[in-house]
Chains A and B, each alone.
Chain A
């Protein structure tokens, strides 16, 4: 058994927890105030444009960076994990924003990013540009013990592609 390192747990970014039959989950009390918070996603949307996130991820559909509207999260889709991705950056092209954008603003951008794949946000899309009316992120979106978000907080639109014969 490895020695416990409670100070060095960081944000867990995998469903595998050695020595356990369950994935481990990181909870961060700092995330609490950004759930069920309409102002957070609205401000997040403005900041997302202001800091050029839109240049890579478009309005959630991606381009230079991955899409954010579906149920696939390379580095995890909990607010804590998204926030961590914004802070630390990721090796294949995600810049590290920690210390460059105030932390409160990073949490709000994280909330907007998570909001893009909510059924309520998708239902509010009119026309070819999604994520214009972001729904607040419900607490239950992160209140689960697994790696996949609860079904009623996301969508699996990209799971099936019908060919031209259909």
Chain B
């Protein structure tokens, strides 16, 4: 056999800087599975049995305020306001801008209540209260929590914060150095502070807390530093910890007891959080909860995911690595686990399972069912029975070849052995990439159209495992990753997903990954931002672009829609590029190293041409 493969190797010898600065070729479409090859459902759609909607208990009538990032417990991010429409959106103008004073990735949702807007920034986590009743929205107060500067050195992927929550006269948020703080909204002074995380073992907190039933639910970050994941419930009045549930270790730590009834047999057994790991590996095993928590008031369940197992090098942790990369349903009072499902047992590709879960009542197999929809990092839209944790359907919404669908009998993901990661050997064109077909940035759901608006990415990756030592407070990764564009080359897309028909109604492509959330309105619009600094409105029915506005820096935050003190509809969003995807701009990161920022730089080396670091609030309205 003639070894022709030597020839391209010789041609590849070119100036290195040039190579790293050239965007890698997209993974060809022939290397991913088609939707038909892997789509999977227990039953065909029964459209005649009703329309999908959020349960009124979890998504009460819109009062025009926006007091939690997800808008409501069902996480619909839907605004019932109709003043702004596809016909008049072209007239939108900025009415307020405000510099946040922090040029790092801004991922938070601004919050609004009683004519005041509250914004929390990336580290150093300033909180601003702005008076919406006065021209120019002047500052009421600013609170500076002064988190420990060293926390910046254990934050895996920029020093982001995903927002706070308003409840009973308090603005409650987390700081990068692991505190949960409740601030009095009248005075801007802290009512209580609780130190939950320890930066010396690599713990940070970046997620937005959820308040339900008089408790504040918080989880930790640190999946890239060998941090053991947990979710804690704090008393809303005092900040005292009521319960804490770990994602690894013995049942007593995970709060698994007699109430635990997982749907699938593979999740039954004693102390699986120990037995599915090598000796003691669960102590540094990840499973962090840095994303979204939902609450179902009807079933009285807290629903939350768990992050990736550590280290990324899966060969160092044989076993299913429970209870990482899964979803728990828990009793909000005690934390007791009710059910669990693991999306990616023994995760080899950093597919954290912390994305939002949208709670819908939806027709399935001939009747209305209570489901949760999880748009997962591993590339599938999972529709699950939220009562039992059973998977009803799983369909890819982006490029997938690391697995080939879900076995709906066993609940287990069918892995593709060709994409198994290996020590010292580069496995190429794994789809989706480490940050997933979609990362943390949340989708929205419109009861008007019945569609879920998914802001996501189209990226694949090359991956090589490396030996890694655990040293507390330092990265525990053990992989060299190089990301690349997915099939077609557009790195981002907004997909309008029909959860009943299990396919997209439309797709809107973007040059860069879409790292912002979406918000959708009864006026028939979907708003989102781009990493190169455009804030856009799409027609919710057709996906047609109806308006765009250039802001100071890329957008990776969560837009909101609210009713102002004057009764008019406003749209607010933070600019400020960064996060994992934008580290090449917001961090001191060199575009010549494709492995930088955990491999994301390889797919983003051109971003500095399009945007600079920034951080501002923008509020838009129609002329009135």
Interface string of A127-166 (1 = CB under 8 A from B): 1111100000000000000000000000001100111100
Number of residues in A with C-beta < 8 Å to the partner?
A: 41
Interface string of B515-554 (1 = CB under 8 A from A): 0000000000000000000000000000000000000000
Inter-chain contact A161/B609, CB cutoff 8 Å: yes
Contact of B595 among A66, A72, A128 (CB under 8 A): A128
Inter-chain contact B587/A62, CB cutoff 8 Å: yes
Most chain A CB within 10 A, of B157, B474, B583, is at B474
Q: Report Cα–Cα, A95/B610, bound state, in Å.
A: 33
Contact of A62 among B15, B150, B590 (CB under 8 A): B590
Main secondary structure of the interface of B (DSSP, over half): loop
Whether, in the assembled complex, B471 has its beta carbon less than 8 Å from a beta carbon of chain A, the answer is: yes
Inter-chain contact A51/B474, CB cutoff 8 Å: yes
Instruction: List, in ascending order, chain B residues with CB within 8 A of A69's CB.
Output: 590, 592-593
Inter-chain contact A52/B150, CB cutoff 8 Å: no
Q: Report Cα–Cα, A52/B313, bound state, in Å.
A: 14
Instruction: List, in ascending order, chain A residues with CB within 8 A of B475's CB.
Output: 52, 54-56, 64
Inter-chain contact A50/B594, CB cutoff 8 Å: no
Inter-chain contact B609/A125, CB cutoff 8 Å: no
Expressed in whole angstroms, the minimum distance between the Cβ of A55 and any Cβ of chain B is: 2
Inter-chain contact B224/A70, CB cutoff 8 Å: no
Whether, in the assembled complex, B13 has its beta carbon less than 8 Å from a beta carbon of chain A, the answer is: yes
Interface string of A21-64 (1 = CB under 8 A from B): 00000000000000000000000000001111011101111111
Within 8 A of A (CB), among B439-483: 466, 468-469, 471, 473-477, 480, 482
Whether, in the assembled complex, A91 has its beta carbon less than 8 Å from a beta carbon of chain B, the answer is: yes
Whether, in the assembled complex, A122 has its beta carbon less than 8 Å from a beta carbon of chain B, the answer is: yes
Using C-beta atoms within 8 Å of the partner chain, give the interface range for chain B: 35 or more
Nearest CB to that of B588 among chain A residues?
A: A66
Known: A52-B475, A129-B595. A72 touches B609 (CB 8 A): no
Instruction: List, in ascending order, chain B residues with CB within 8 A of A122's CB.
Output: 16-17, 592
Inter-chain contact B16/A126, CB cutoff 8 Å: yes
Known: A125-B17, A126-B16. A61 touches B149 (CB 8 A): no
Within 8 A of A (CB), among B4-24: 12-17, 19-20, 24
Whether, in the assembled complex, A17 has its beta carbon less than 8 Å from a beta carbon of chain B, the answer is: no
Expressed in whole angstroms, the minimum distance between the Cβ of B470 and any Cβ of chain A is: 9
27 pairs, A vs B, C-beta closer than 8 Å: A51-B471, A52-B468, A52-B474, A55-B477, A58-B601, A59-B593, A59-B596, A61-B594, A61-B596, A61-B597, A61-B601, A62-B588, A62-B590, A63-B157, A63-B583, A63-B589, A63-B597, A67-B588, A91-B150, A92-B149, A93-B150, A95-B474, A126-B19, A128-B19, A128-B482, A158-B590, A162-B609
B-to-A contact residues, CB < 8 Å: 12-17, 19-20, 24, 149-157, 224, 466, 468-469, 471, 473-477, 480, 482, 583, 587-598, 601-602, 606, 608-610
A-to-B contact residues, CB < 8 Å: 49-52, 54-56, 58-67, 69-70, 72, 91-95, 122-131, 157-158, 161-164
5 extra A-B contacts, CB within 8 A, seeds A126-B14, A128-B19:
A52-B468, A69-B590, A69-B592, A93-B153, A162-B609
